[in-house]
Amino acid sequence: MKKLFVLIIISVATFSVINGQFTKVGGGLGYSSAYQFHDMPGTAFKSGHFIIAMKGIYQVSLPIQISPSFTYLVPHITKEIQPEGTQTTTISTIMFDINGHYIFNTPDRFEFYGLAGLDILLVWEKEVYNYSPNLPATIESDNALGLNIGAGTYMKITEQISLYAELKYIVSNYDQLMLNAGVLINLGGQKKNGNPGK
Protein backbone atom coordinates (compact mmCIF):
# COMPACT_ATOMS: atom_id res chain seq x y z
CA MET A 1 0.00 0.00 0.00
CA LYS A 2 2.83 2.39 0.89
CA LYS A 3 4.59 1.65 -2.42
CA LEU A 4 1.39 2.33 -4.35
CA PHE A 5 0.88 5.62 -2.49
CA VAL A 6 4.47 6.69 -3.21
CA LEU A 7 4.06 5.85 -6.92
CA ILE A 8 0.86 7.90 -7.10
CA ILE A 9 2.51 10.91 -5.42
CA ILE A 10 5.56 10.70 -7.70
CA SER A 11 3.36 10.36 -10.80
CA VAL A 12 1.25 13.38 -9.84
CA ALA A 13 4.34 15.44 -9.02
CA THR A 14 6.04 14.50 -12.30
CA PHE A 15 2.93 15.35 -14.32
CA SER A 16 2.62 18.65 -12.49
CA VAL A 17 6.25 19.58 -13.13
CA ILE A 18 5.90 18.86 -16.84
CA ASN A 19 2.68 20.86 -17.14
CA GLY A 20 3.47 23.56 -14.61
CA GLN A 21 6.08 26.25 -14.02
CA PHE A 22 8.88 26.46 -11.48
CA THR A 23 8.20 29.96 -10.11
CA LYS A 24 9.90 30.27 -6.68
CA VAL A 25 12.87 28.83 -4.85
CA GLY A 26 14.36 29.58 -1.45
CA GLY A 27 14.66 28.44 2.12
CA GLY A 28 14.64 29.34 5.76
CA LEU A 29 14.97 28.29 9.37
CA GLY A 30 12.54 26.67 11.75
CA TYR A 31 11.73 24.65 14.83
CA SER A 32 10.52 21.07 15.31
CA SER A 33 8.79 19.51 18.31
CA ALA A 34 11.28 16.64 17.76
CA TYR A 35 10.79 12.87 18.18
CA GLN A 36 12.31 9.89 20.00
CA PHE A 37 14.47 7.56 17.93
CA HIS A 38 12.83 4.09 17.97
CA ASP A 39 10.71 5.34 20.90
CA MET A 40 13.74 4.86 23.14
CA PRO A 41 13.51 6.77 26.44
CA GLY A 42 15.88 9.53 27.46
CA THR A 43 17.03 12.82 25.97
CA ALA A 44 20.04 11.12 24.33
CA PHE A 45 17.70 9.52 21.76
CA LYS A 46 15.72 12.68 20.96
CA SER A 47 16.12 14.42 17.61
CA GLY A 48 17.21 18.02 17.19
CA HIS A 49 14.75 20.91 17.38
CA PHE A 50 16.25 23.44 14.96
CA ILE A 51 15.85 23.00 11.22
CA ILE A 52 17.26 24.34 7.96
CA ALA A 53 14.80 24.10 5.07
CA MET A 54 14.97 24.54 1.30
CA LYS A 55 11.92 24.53 -0.93
CA GLY A 56 10.65 25.27 -4.41
CA ILE A 57 7.24 26.16 -5.83
CA TYR A 58 5.77 24.77 -9.05
CA GLN A 59 2.71 26.68 -10.21
CA VAL A 60 0.43 24.04 -11.76
CA SER A 61 -2.66 26.17 -12.33
CA LEU A 62 -4.48 28.44 -9.94
CA PRO A 63 -5.17 27.60 -7.16
CA ILE A 64 -2.90 24.50 -7.15
CA GLN A 65 0.86 24.41 -6.48
CA ILE A 66 3.37 21.60 -5.93
CA SER A 67 6.18 22.23 -3.44
CA PRO A 68 9.18 19.87 -3.14
CA SER A 69 11.36 20.55 -0.10
CA PHE A 70 14.42 19.36 1.81
CA THR A 71 14.76 19.69 5.58
CA TYR A 72 17.86 19.21 7.71
CA LEU A 73 17.47 18.92 11.48
CA VAL A 74 20.52 20.19 13.32
CA PRO A 75 21.84 17.02 15.04
CA HIS A 76 21.13 16.50 18.71
CA ILE A 77 24.37 15.57 20.51
CA THR A 78 24.47 14.21 24.04
CA LYS A 79 27.63 13.50 26.04
CA GLU A 80 27.45 11.21 29.05
CA ILE A 81 30.19 10.57 31.56
CA GLN A 82 30.51 6.89 32.39
CA PRO A 83 32.95 5.18 34.79
CA GLU A 84 34.77 3.80 31.74
CA GLY A 85 34.93 7.15 29.88
CA THR A 86 32.76 9.46 27.76
CA GLN A 87 29.90 8.28 25.55
CA THR A 88 28.57 10.60 22.81
CA THR A 89 25.19 9.96 21.15
CA THR A 90 24.21 11.85 17.99
CA ILE A 91 20.77 11.82 16.30
CA SER A 92 20.92 13.12 12.70
CA THR A 93 17.87 13.63 10.48
CA ILE A 94 17.08 14.67 6.91
CA MET A 95 13.64 14.85 5.30
CA PHE A 96 12.28 15.04 1.76
CA ASP A 97 8.75 16.31 1.15
CA ILE A 98 6.40 16.68 -1.79
CA ASN A 99 3.41 18.81 -0.83
CA GLY A 100 0.42 20.12 -2.68
CA HIS A 101 -0.69 23.70 -1.91
CA TYR A 102 -4.21 25.02 -2.33
CA ILE A 103 -4.31 28.84 -2.47
CA PHE A 104 -7.41 30.06 -0.64
CA ASN A 105 -7.38 33.69 -1.80
CA THR A 106 -6.83 35.51 -5.07
CA PRO A 107 -3.06 36.00 -5.47
CA ASP A 108 -2.12 39.39 -4.06
CA ARG A 109 0.54 40.69 -1.69
CA PHE A 110 -0.55 38.01 0.81
CA GLU A 111 -1.37 34.44 -0.20
CA PHE A 112 -2.75 31.85 2.22
CA TYR A 113 -2.65 28.14 1.48
CA GLY A 114 -3.44 24.75 2.93
CA LEU A 115 -1.02 21.90 2.33
CA ALA A 116 -1.02 18.12 2.26
CA GLY A 117 1.60 15.72 1.00
CA LEU A 118 4.21 13.05 1.49
CA ASP A 119 7.18 13.07 3.89
CA ILE A 120 10.21 10.76 3.74
CA LEU A 121 12.40 10.84 6.86
CA LEU A 122 15.88 9.35 7.20
CA VAL A 123 17.53 9.17 10.63
CA TRP A 124 20.90 7.98 11.94
CA GLU A 125 21.79 7.28 15.56
CA LYS A 126 25.54 7.19 16.24
CA GLU A 127 27.24 6.28 19.51
CA VAL A 128 30.94 6.98 20.05
CA TYR A 129 32.74 5.52 23.06
CA ASN A 130 35.83 7.30 24.34
CA TYR A 131 36.75 4.39 26.55
CA SER A 132 40.01 2.69 27.35
CA PRO A 133 40.45 0.43 25.55
CA ASN A 134 38.55 2.24 22.79
CA LEU A 135 35.40 0.60 21.45
CA PRO A 136 34.24 1.00 17.84
CA ALA A 137 31.46 3.51 17.16
CA THR A 138 28.01 2.06 16.51
CA ILE A 139 25.58 3.44 13.92
CA GLU A 140 21.91 2.55 13.57
CA SER A 141 19.61 3.99 10.92
CA ASP A 142 15.90 4.06 10.19
CA ASN A 143 13.45 5.63 7.75
CA ALA A 144 9.77 6.48 7.82
CA LEU A 145 7.07 7.42 5.35
CA GLY A 146 4.64 10.01 6.62
CA LEU A 147 1.83 12.36 5.67
CA ASN A 148 1.95 16.16 6.00
CA ILE A 149 -0.97 18.42 6.78
CA GLY A 150 -0.76 22.13 7.50
CA ALA A 151 -1.02 25.68 6.24
CA GLY A 152 1.16 28.60 5.27
CA THR A 153 1.37 32.06 3.80
CA TYR A 154 3.48 34.11 1.38
CA MET A 155 4.04 37.84 1.75
CA LYS A 156 5.29 39.65 -1.33
CA ILE A 157 8.06 42.15 -0.47
CA THR A 158 9.24 43.07 -3.99
CA GLU A 159 8.72 41.65 -7.47
CA GLN A 160 11.71 39.39 -6.83
CA ILE A 161 11.38 38.47 -3.14
CA SER A 162 8.65 36.99 -0.93
CA LEU A 163 8.66 35.92 2.70
CA TYR A 164 6.94 32.71 3.74
CA ALA A 165 5.82 31.02 6.95
CA GLU A 166 4.58 27.44 7.19
CA LEU A 167 3.20 25.19 9.93
CA LYS A 168 2.73 21.46 9.37
CA TYR A 169 2.16 18.29 11.33
CA ILE A 170 3.86 15.09 10.16
CA VAL A 171 1.96 11.86 10.82
CA SER A 172 4.40 8.92 10.80
CA ASN A 173 6.39 6.64 13.10
CA TYR A 174 8.19 9.88 14.02
CA ASP A 175 5.29 12.29 14.52
CA GLN A 176 6.31 15.91 14.93
CA LEU A 177 5.09 19.47 14.51
CA MET A 178 7.20 21.84 12.42
CA LEU A 179 7.21 25.61 11.99
CA ASN A 180 9.55 27.31 9.54
CA ALA A 181 9.88 30.68 7.85
CA GLY A 182 12.20 32.12 5.24
CA VAL A 183 12.69 33.83 1.90
CA LEU A 184 11.59 32.82 -1.59
CA ILE A 185 13.12 34.21 -4.78
CA ASN A 186 10.79 34.78 -7.72
CA LEU A 187 12.12 33.09 -10.85
CA GLY A 188 9.94 35.21 -13.10
CA GLY A 189 7.58 32.45 -14.28
CA GLN A 190 4.26 33.32 -15.85
CA LYS A 191 1.10 31.88 -14.34
CA LYS A 192 -1.22 30.01 -16.63
CA ASN A 193 -3.85 32.72 -16.48
CA GLY A 194 -1.34 35.15 -17.98
CA ASN A 195 -0.57 37.11 -14.80
CA PRO A 196 3.04 37.48 -13.72
CA GLY A 197 4.23 34.91 -11.18
CA LYS A 198 4.91 36.26 -7.75
**Domains of the chain with CATH codes:** 2-186 (2.40.160.20)
**Residues 6+ positions from 81 with CB-CB distance below 8 Å:** none
Contact 166, 115 (CB under 8 A): yes
pLDDT tens-digit readout, 45-100:
999 999 999 999 998 888 999 999 999 999 999 998 877 788 899 999 999 999 99
Please, which pLDDT band fits residue 126 given cuts at 50, 70 and 90? very high
Please, which pLDDT band fits residue 130 given cuts at 50, 70 and 90? confident
pLDDT tens-digit readout, 156-175:
999 899 999 999 999 999 99
Helix (H) or strand (E) holding 40: none
Task: Give the C-alpha separation, 41 to 47, whole Å.
Answer: 12
pLDDT of 4 reads 46
What 8-13 contacts at long range (C-beta under 8 Å, 24+ apart), as own/partner pairs, is 9/98, 9/117, 9/118, 10/98, 12/66, 12/100, 13/66, 13/68, 13/98
Considering the entire predicted model, what is its pTM? 0.81
pLDDT of 108 reads 76
